[in-house]
Amino acid sequence: MLRVIALAARNLTRLWRRSLLTGGLVAIGVVGVLLFVAAAGSFKAMMIGQITRFLPGPERGLA
């Protein structure tokens, strides 16, 4: 197992530009997914709020 880690470390340092590019693209992808999930959750909450705003219910004392 130690040989595999040493080989991986050697390859990361030998091809440092490709490793940096890959790491950067992975980071950009993770940020993109997080932003999409946050925007979708916010949009869903806004839709539910607008749909239920004018519905009478027990919490408004109308039922």
DSSP 1-61: -HHHHHHHHHHHHHTHHHHHHHHHHHHHHHHHHHHHHHHHHHHHHHHHHHHHTTS--GGGT
d(CA 50, CA 52): 6
pTM of the model: 0.65
Tens digit of pLDDT for each residue in 12-54? 899 999 999 999 999 999 999 999 999 999 999 998 888 888 7
Q: How many residues does the chain have?
A: 63
Domain segments of the chain as ranges:
24-53
Place of tokens 């009478």: 56
Whether the predicted pLDDT of 58 surpasses 90: no
Q: What local confidence, expressed as pLDDT, does residue 57 receive?
A: 66
- DSSP character for 62? -
